[in-house]
Amino acid sequence: MTAFLTQHGSELLTKTWQQIYISAIALALGIIVAVPLSVILMKFPRTAKVVMAIASMLQTIPALALLAMMLPIFGIGQLPAIVALFLYSLMPILRNTYVGLTGVNPNTVDSAKGVGMTQIQIITKVDIPLAMPVIMSGIRLSAIYVIAWSTLASYIGAGGLGDFIFNGLNLYQPDLIFGGTIPVIILALLTDYLLGRLEKKLTPAGVNNN
């Protein structure tokens, strides 16, 4: 490993940053789209079933196949990888947010209405905080998926730690394989830990954390 760091240290930093960049943007887009969409779907249960079915269907497509499908539309590079990973990130966040929001005790919502809260205030100050453990569970799961699957982005020229892994497999060099795999594992564990800490800060006292 020392020899690997000596030879590929700067390249490792670059590819780790590429992995973080691709994963972070895809996850952020997933959160920005899935959470508000779940809030809207609360009011339309029938539509929610259709949307959930579509999101589930997208997640059944193999990651490499979905990346390949992006090529004719977006070309090669990071953009198609981000779009594909964004689509993959939707289902866990969408499902958990919807389940969390619809699982809030109706009596709590009625009490909020009784003290004069507006619909927006109820969503932002009652529904989302109470559903936060379930929402964050979906975000954490999605983050792990995105970090793991972003290694495949190297196949379409997006860079990342997958370059080390697949070059190592092609050249039969274990040091390259481990040099790409170990940072991916560390990134996934660190991301899950940090999101767990964020979950505790965002969850109101008295609400059970996962």
Domain count, the chain: 1
How does pLDDT run across 82-132, given as a tens digit for each residue?
Answer: 999 998 899 899 999 999 998 888 888 888 888 888 888 888 888 889 999
On whether residue 6 sits in a domain, the answer given is no
On whether residue 113 sits in a domain, the answer given is yes
DSSP assignments along 66-89, one per residue? HHHHHHHHH-SSHHHHHHHHHHHH
- Helices then strands, counting H and E runs in the chain, come out as 9, 0
How does pLDDT run across 133-165, given as a tens digit for each residue?
Answer: 999 999 999 999 999 989 988 888 888 898 989
Q: What is the CATH number of the domain that holds 164?
A: 1.10.3720.10
Q: Is this structure's pTM higher than 0.85?
A: yes
On whether residue 210 sits in a domain, the answer given is no
On whether residue 175 sits in a domain, the answer given is yes
Q: Which residue in this structure is represented by tokens 């899950």? A: 192
User: Cβ neighbours of residue 130 under 8 Å, at least 6 residues apart?
Assistant: 100, 104, 105, 108, 204, 207
How does pLDDT run across 9-47, given as a tens digit for each residue?
Answer: 788 899 999 999 999 999 999 999 999 999 999 888 889
Range of the domain at 115: 11-202
On whether residue 2 sits in a domain, the answer given is no
What whole-number distance in Å separates Cα of residue 145 and Cα of residue 91? 11
On whether residue 155 sits in a domain, the answer given is yes
On whether residue 1 sits in a domain, the answer given is no
What whole-number distance in Å separates Cα of residue 69 and Cα of residue 76? 11
On whether residue 153 sits in a domain, the answer given is yes
Tell me if 52 sits within 8 A of 95, measured CB to CB: yes
Closest CA to 161 of 187, 186, 180: 180
Tell me if 160 sits within 8 A of 22, measured CB to CB: yes
